Structure 1
Amino acid sequence: MKKYLSRINLVIVLNCFLFISCSGSNSDEPAAENKAPENLKVTATIVGASVQNPNGDGTGVVNFTLSAANATSYKITLGNGETKEVTNGSFSYTYTASGANTYVLYVSAYNAGKFVSTSLSITVLVESKLIWSDEFNTDGAPDASKWTFQIWDPGNVNSELQSYTNRPENTIVQGGVLKIKAIREKYGKGDFTSGRLESNGKFDFTYGKIVIRAKLPTGVGTWPAVWMLGSNIGSVGWPACGEVDILESVGKEMNVNHSSLHSPGRSGATPDTGTINVPNDNTEFHIYTADWRAGYIKFYVDDKLYYTFVNSDKFPFNKNFYLIVNFAMGGVWGGPVDPNFTSSTFEVDYIRVYN
């Protein structure tokens, strides 16, 4: 009986030895999950691309396929300031900057801290489309679905002298034009009244072409503007939110338009500014344009380019901004008001925003 059991035990021990030996025979080979990715392949198919339209159909949609042996995730820098991290290598992305733009993309495949990378460039056409506008074609108060009145006492910002009201005497749409009228009058805590409209909470956007047709007021001490603030101003404050001044002029310096950008360390008397002479800007309508993209913001008057700001991710100009139209009096830049000033009107024919 003992001999029989001993033979059984010997067989079991031998079998265990053989099993352990077989199991350990591949111990020198790395586990599959620890292998570095390899053979990274990237396919970028621009929707609608053809011999006639090599950059696509104008929608800006690109279908991506990323693949690599042993990869568990991918990261792609899309060339416009945005980055995507995905585990599924197939996805679509829509570029929004209008025109035919070339983007340099960087793609990496990852596995447990190991990675392989490659790069490629694509040129994508995005046809310009109107995404928001106010043509100011309905007489009466400004469209409440697009604008909010700011009602402020004098000195709320920039030591300005006016009280901002929502009265039709100061702000009205009439004859296809928005009219903001500054008036010398005793009102509330000040000696002037005027109007300020904001699209905050009703419309904001990232990147696009903003086109404004306007005629400026007259008088030393006037300070009209159409401009933008970062939508996160409530959480980060100014200038961290960023500010983009498209149309800005002061009556003490007639026929000159200023386009400026304010950001941390570059606010107040910002170095990021450009100017252009605009003859008869208070007697004729002119077209003021900002072309805002991830790589630059270009400013034009009547289609004449006069200032290019080089944008990048170190500035706050790569997120949602909202629109402001206002007519200030005096203040830190408007300066003393002409004692003979009684009233003047800032007229805006339309504001259009294209993708």
Structure 2
Amino acid sequence: MKTTLNVIGLLTIFFIALGACKKKDTTPDLVLPTNLQTTISHTSGNASIQASAQNANFYSFTFFENGDSTRIESQQGTASYTFSQSGTYTIKTRAHTTQYDYIEKIDQVIIYVDSAVTGAPTEGYSTPLTYPGLSLVWNDEFDGTTLSSDWTYDIGTGSSGWGNNELQYYTNDNVQVSNGLLQITAKSESFNAQDYTSTRIKTQGLKSWKYGRVDVRAALPYGKGIWPAIWMLGDNITSVGWPACGEIDIMELIGGAGLNDRTVHGTAHW
């Protein structure tokens, strides 16, 4: 019995000694990055992003397009991605301490893909210059480099009545005429207290017709918030207002996920 007690006593002292000699844990506390900032520029479908943050070891960028995603890592905090078509897209930026420890920022970007880059329709329906019982009274093929004098601009947000609670500020700078095409570009930029700009043109006070047929050929961008539209209003809108003047929507594409990106509306209002 004494021998057994001595062994137990030795074991107890041994484990106590080991515990007393254990080294103190000197692993530093994890420090996450702070102050993540991003700058995005884009042209002809290509988006370039620059990120900066304090205490970041590296960055990752995820570009989302049509249900797919592309992830890019960068030590320098830069990345670029080319979108296949016009629309509104999400870019997720992360500033990493480790692969699993990070802060992130989400940006929405409106992309316009130039027709010369994407191969937007060069073939398709062409309007004939004559129809039985009709005579051509006006057309615009946008053959020059500027809009003709048949057009004028709506400038501003339309808050005085002609707008529809849009988030953009309408300017005369977001339009380009070249190679037989009129291009209107919606941009994500701050201007006159709005976060977006676009262009809205009309023939009001310059060209109007009673009865007949209007043919338009257009390639449309899609995505939430883009909402391209071509429509006609009664010539007497300034005197009787809307909807008493009447409205014929030649084309409206609301845009957004699913059906809204695949449905073109033609509507009459009165």
TM-score, length of structure 2 as denominator length: 0.48
Larger RCO, structures 1/2 (Cα 8 Å, 6+ apart)? 1
